[in-house]
Each structure stands twice: as C-alpha cells, then as structure tokens.
Amino acid sequence: MASSILYLAPDRATLRARGAMHTAAVPGAPGWAGALAALQTLLETQRPAGQVAVLLSSHFAPLWLLPGAPTRLNYQETRGWVEAQAAERFGELAANWRLAFRPAPAGEPLLASAIDAAHWAELLHTLAEAGLRMAAVASWPALALARYGKHGTARLALVESGRLTLVSLLRGEPVALDSVRGEADALTGLLTRAALVDGLGDAPLHLVGTGVAGELASAWAGAQVLANAAETAVLSGRAEPDFLQTRPRPPLVAWLLLAVGLGLAALAGTRYTALAEQLDTLSVPETTVSAKPRGARVVASPEASARPWGDLLNRLESQRPKRIALLSLRGDALRGEARITAEARSPADMLAWFKALRADPDLHEVSLVRHELQVEDEQQPLRFELRLAWGER
C-alpha cells in the first residue's frame, strides 16, 4: 500500500505524505519539465519514503474510451488491439507512448490512457533517485472515475486546471468520453456533444474538481458537486488503467499444467543427456565452445558458427555495468541479429548501457524494444529488451 500520493500537473506538483498535503508551484512556464522540477522540490524538502502512488493530470496522461474488440482476446492480444486503435486514432504520435488499458469483455469499450515514453523514463528516474518505489501510476481522471463513477446513470465532469473530461455513465459503466482544454465555458460544448451520442437524455450532471470547479458549479445550478477541493487531486484508491499493470496472474490450473510440463521436460532432458553420452563415445568432434557469461542464456540457430558469438558475448560483458544483469541473448546467426533481455537497477543504468552499445562501432542498429518495471519484485528492477546487429554488414 502506498504511503504517499503524488499529483503532477502542468502548473504544480502536490504530495500527500504523513497525513499532510504539500504543494510546489512550477518554476517558469507550465509543462512537463516544470512539473518534474516542482516534484524534485517536494522530494528534497519533504523526503517521502516507501511506496508512492502517482496521479498524472490528463494533460500528461489523457483518458480515452476505445472501441472494444469484437471477439474475446487474451492479455497480449488486447494490448495489440489497444495499440492498433491508438495508432489509427493518433497516427505516428502513438509510437512514442506508453499505453495502459482496463480489460473489458468482448464488444465492450476499453478505458485506455497514455504517457509519453520519454516522460515515463524521466519519472522513473526521478523517483528511483529519491529511493521511492511506485505502487501505482494512473491518470487522475481514471482514479476520479473509479471513485465517483458508480452513481448510476449520469454525466460526470472531471475538472482540472485548464482541462475538462466528461464521462457518460450508464448504470455506472462508461458509454462515452470526451475531453477538451478549457475552463467553465468549455463544459457547454462537451455536454451538447455528449447528448448527441450517449443516449442518456436528461441524465444528471455530477462534478468532481481539483479545486478549480467553483465557476462550473455556480454556472450549473442543477449539477451535483461530489468533490471540489485541492485535496481531491491526491485521492487514495485503486485506478485502472494503471501504467504499472502487468499480465494477470495465471490461475492455479495453469501452474499445475506448468509443473507437469516442466516434469516432462526434465524427463526428456535426462534421456537426451544419456543419448548424448552414448554418441560421444562414438565420435568426439574437435571444437571449442565459448564460455557464456554467468546468468545469461544463449539461444542460437544451427548456423551460429557463421558468426562470432564468443566475441559478441565478451563484448557485451565487458561493457555491461555492474548494475545491469544480463538475462538472455537470442540471435539469428544468418542475419547477424540478436535480442538481449536484461534488468537494470534504475532507468539511468539502462540508458547508460544502451548509449554505450550504440557507441560501439562493431554493433549496428541498436534499439530499445521495450522496458517494464517489475513491480512484483521487492527491488523493482527495470527489465528491458534490446535489439542489435553485429559483425560485417
């Protein structure tokens, strides 16, 4: 459970820790850089410890309602569906986003959110440097919706400074969602558009604000204000989508099947070893096997001898910082391509090794494929995957 809650907005950072709330204004122009600077001020002056839940303004992590998949999908397939929907809606911009989603039954709309990948890496680095572990990272509208969106059929206006999100709810489930930049006058346009598409008729209007909704409440006499204070920005509770979401835990039957599979694999391995020993007595080829780095698992194609695997492994090990653990190396010897899976103690360690590999003249096309914080591990390492090419091109 998080001992502290952070809210990041373009104009401020707010921290709730040890029962008190602290706010730091953004120095200079509003934006992500200013929000990080304000966050750094809070971390240095208040020194929170333990786990922290992070809430991001919809400026930084907008909330969407995407069309649901027509058929039932598993976790990975749903992620692919969300990525495709984001790419279709936002084009090339979506390629630089970290996406999160709330799973839904087939045909039901999906709540999704996004944060710029560079912003995500900077947030990880800032909190890791302060010795904090993240318990959750979500868009503030997602948490406000989870907290106040169970009031039957209504239109719920989620109001932040300079940003409005309107969610149409049918028996507590979102059926339409729209958001715009603006203050009080923007709500009129949102309500007009919602009435054309959500089919809710004269559904009541509920307001939740972070202390900036006073004008809205007075402008709509029939609206019910559920919450409207600066403290609302640092709500506690669980929200989806969560940017720390991981693949759902498999049920018990899956673990039993895995155990059976491992047992069969062990039996097959024993028989293979016995057969290999018999073959060795018949023919012992003259070959040299390169030593693998401790802890690394190498999977190569049969043509591995066509490429200097030993040189590649030695090069990776010589450049690998102590705070990086090499987990596996998979390669295509014919193409001279490899995929590396590793874990880093912090985003800074990951980026430092990534830059070192890119600077190596014998390595080509080094790219960061993915990275994921291992929240279930007490140390919360950052697992990542790199792709590269080596040898003559």
pLDDT of residue 266: 54
Q: Is 268 exposed, middle or buried (0-12, 13-18, 19+ CB in 10 A)?
A: exposed
Task: Give phi and psi for 110, each to the nearest 5.
Answer: -110, 130
pLDDT of residue 281: 43
pLDDT of residue 111: 95
Q: What is the pLDDT of residues 244-290, one digit of tens each?
A: 876 554 454 444 555 555 555 555 555 545 544 543 443 333 333 33
Per-domain boundaries in the chain: 4-234, 290-390
| Closest to 114 in 3D by CA, of 102, 93, 98, 94 | 98
Specify which of 138-152, 179-193, 307-321, 360-374 reaches the highest per-range mean pLDDT: 138-152
pLDDT of residue 146: 94
Q: What is the pLDDT of residues 116-128, one digit of tens each?
A: 999 999 999 999 9
The total number of residues shown for the chain amounts to 393
pLDDT band at 186 (very low <50, low <70, confident <90, very high): confident
DSSP single-letter state for residue 287: -
pTM of the model: 0.67
Of all residues in the chain, the percent with pLDDT exceeding 90 is 37
Q: What is the pLDDT of residues 375-390, one digit of tens each?
A: 777 777 888 888 888 8
Q: What is the pLDDT of residues 3-23, one digit of tens each?
A: 899 999 999 999 999 989 999
Asked if residue 206 lies in contact with residue 223, where contact means CB atoms within 8 angstroms, the answer is yes
Quick one: average pLDDT of 329-341?
A: 78
Stronger pLDDT, 381 or 63, i.e. the higher one:
63
Q: What is the pLDDT of residues 155-164, one digit of tens each?
A: 999 999 889 9
pLDDT of residue 289: 30
Dihedral class, residue 150 (left if φ above 0, else alpha if ψ from -120 to 50, else beta): alpha
Q: What is the mean pLDDT of the chain?
A: 81
- Does the domain formed by 290-390 have CATH 3.40.120.10? no
pLDDT band at 304 (very low <50, low <70, confident <90, very high): very low
* Fold (CATH) for 4-234: Nucleotidyltransferase; domain 5 (3.30.420)
For residues 231 and 154, what is the distance between their CA atoms, to the nearest angstrom?
24
